[in-house]
Chains A and B, each alone.
Chain A
Amino acid sequence: MTIRGKAYIAGAYEHPTRKAPDKSVAQLHAESAAGALADAGLTKDDVDGYFCAGDAPGMGPVNMLDYMNLRVRHMDSTDLGGCSYIAAVAHATEAIMAGKCNVALITLAGRPRSEGHSGTAARPGNPNIPDSPWETHFGPSTVNLYAMAAARHMYQYGTTSEQLAWIKVAASHHAQHNPHAMLRDVVTVEDVVNSPMVSDPLHRLDCCVVSDGGGALLVVKPEIAKALKRPLVKVLGGAEAMKGQMGGDVDLTYSGAVWTGPAAFAEAGVMPSDIQYASIYDSFTITVLMQLEDLGFCEKGKGGAFVADGNLISGVGKLPFNTDGGGLCNNHPANRGGITKVIEAVRQLRGEAHPKVQVPNCGLALAHGTGGLLGSRHASATLILERE
């Protein structure tokens, strides 16, 4: 039994705010939910399943469902960091298959920009997190734990800062067309490698933005999707995995995508070369490069050559990626970019991306994310979607 074709994404909404000092986190969740319902042509009374993750305040479903006053019969608050919302689409499909719900709402929202949370601050220690007594005092910040992966990839495969910079360049080419994007200026490879070093070898422009915002998705059973007026975006395959330090057998040169990619492609019955558009989690440039290799878009270690020379720019290269500008230029709400990855894939499959970045006749798309920390322990989630 697989999830192939067992549900559709009928609603997708990205909150337009990038800075929301005047809104509450719960409000951003609810406004995103309302946006997705309006997009789908459904009402709040249609929702009978709810999916959220660690950004949802309090006890997640308990507090958020009370705030939105929704009565559901299925709840899931699996927290896989920033890729939670990609995995949630597969989990929602599984719940729909099992008859546990018909209309599943997924929300994300947060205000790290207004609240002053970024990826360069060290995390506080917590003795009950098993790795904390061994690591927290060494001061690893989010960016450090991606920088060490980048340094090792460079050492092992000869990847260069200039090649990583191409990922940001491609994102900026897309962001120029997105009126909501935080960074709309097109940048060059030189701009990236000459920007201030944050955590060697990652520069400021190798890092994603810190933004407020939110997003929501509606995953529905096939009969409901077909009765709505929106283009049909079908779930074809999904997979999730976790990769950590493996008892000390640390290998920072690959991510959990080595497991989720083959599993999701097998379930979907397609190959990496079939994918017309890819949303690839871009917390940092190195995140993109490693995931592209691990998903099988190029040979391991050849990601640098693959991303160079505009190969990720829509209309220019072979694999258009993150056509909304991604986390690197557009939006990284709640420091968790998974939901925006699915939303832009849905736009592409519906033909509703910006005309300057729309992939012609986009029929098959992938969304992939890394949640947590690439250089210590992280979750990976892959989703493959098809326009029917």
Chain B
Amino acid sequence: MSERKITAPSSNPESEPFYAAAKEGRFLIRTCTGCGKSHWYPRTLCPFCFGATEWTEASGNATIYSFSPMRRAGFTIAYVTLAEGPTMMTNLVDCDMDSLAIGQPVKLAFKPAEDGTPVPCFTPA
């Protein structure tokens, strides 16, 4: 079973710095300078208090919140909860689909999309 090709992410001015950092191997999230909370997906205004936010580097450590293996299509859609707090949508990669479990520790694994852009996937830790 070959893995599904990841399509190139669409991009807008709020997402461009994330993918620029990803090309340097850095995984950024945004954190509020007012309330201090990190959130996902990244926004200029904090979704909790509408305060200003800034890019902060995340550890890449996470646990599986939920997932669904698409065996025929060759990919696993998932939500993972980052060590920094927010839960994000991703794909689980380089793994045996049938041995995954909710609560399992995973770590960041950037994978190239069709256009080469690294996108944040996760793999068992």
Contact = CB atoms under 8 A, between A and B. Distances in A.
Contact of A133 (B11, B69, B86): B11
Interface of A is mostly: mixed
A130 B43 CA distance: 9
Contacts of A197: 71
Contacts of B7: 122, 125, 136-137, 139
B36 interface: no
A248 B85 CA distance: 8
Interface stretch (A22-30, A145-153, A160-168, A298-306): A145-153
A227 to B, nearest CB: 50
A127 B11 contact: yes
Contacts, number: 122
Nearest to B117: A137
B67 interface: yes
A248 B38 contact: yes
B67 A148 contact: yes
A69 interface: no
A247 B47 contact: yes
Contact of A248 (B39, B66, B71): B39
Interface string A112-144: 000000000010011110111111111110001
B33 to A, nearest CB: 15
Interface string B35-73: 001111111001110000000000000000111111101
Contacts of A138: 6, 77, 89-91, 119
B41 A144 contact: no
Given A136-B10, A248-B87, 7 more contacts: A122-B7, A125-B9, A133-B14, A134-B40, A137-B6, A138-B89, A144-B70
Interface of A: 122, 125-128, 130-140, 144, 147-149, 151-152, 155, 197, 199-202, 245-250, 252, 375-376
